[in-house]
């Protein structure tokens, strides 16, 4: 069974592209358009070995999602990779993420990090 990667981003074109690439690389992709959808998915028992997280989204942004995720012991340990168009370093340390990528992202580099994180989770 492939590792599931949860892609959380409000850019539907990017979500489709990243999901397709993950699938081609042997992962299963789950998607959410914002932090609230991602929390509902995870707290409802949806699987995720890693999370690709945008920071700027409507309804619930990445910072708010990450605080809620870390406060929930059932999902706190899922590693997070930030994928953001925002070249913001301020506040990133408080997120305690496994890696950070700026958009546009290098898919081979991203997949390399996802492979390391999901292998560690197995």
Of 49, 55, 58, 57, the residue nearest 29 (C-alpha): 49
Residue ranges per structural domain of the chain? 4-121
Question: Does domain 4-121 bear CATH number 3.40.50.2300?
Answer: yes
pLDDT value for 103: 80
Measured in degrees and rounded to the nearest 5, phi and psi for residue 5 equal: -115, 125
Q: DSSP character for 12? A: H
Cβ neighbour number for residue 110 with a 10 Å cutoff: 20
Q: Report mean pLDDT in 10-residue bins for the chain, 122 residues.
A: 94 95 96 98 97 94 95 96 72 81 88 90 54
């Amino acid at each position: 069974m492939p590792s599931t990667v949860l892609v959380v981003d409000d850019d539907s074109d990017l979500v489709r592209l990243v999901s397709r690439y993950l699938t081609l690389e042997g992962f299963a992709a789950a998607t959410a358009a914002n932090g609230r959808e991602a929390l509902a998915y995870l707290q409802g028992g949806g699987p995720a070995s890693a999370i690709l997280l945008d920071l700027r989204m409507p309804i619930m942004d990445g910072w708010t999602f990450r605080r809620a995720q870390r406060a929930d012991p059932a999902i706190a340990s899922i590693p997070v990779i930030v994928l953001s168009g925002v070249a913001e370093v301020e506040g990133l340390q408080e997120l305690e993420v496994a890696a950070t990528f700026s958009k546009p992202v290098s898919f081979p580099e991203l997949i390399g990090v996802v492979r390391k994180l999901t292998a560690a989770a197995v």
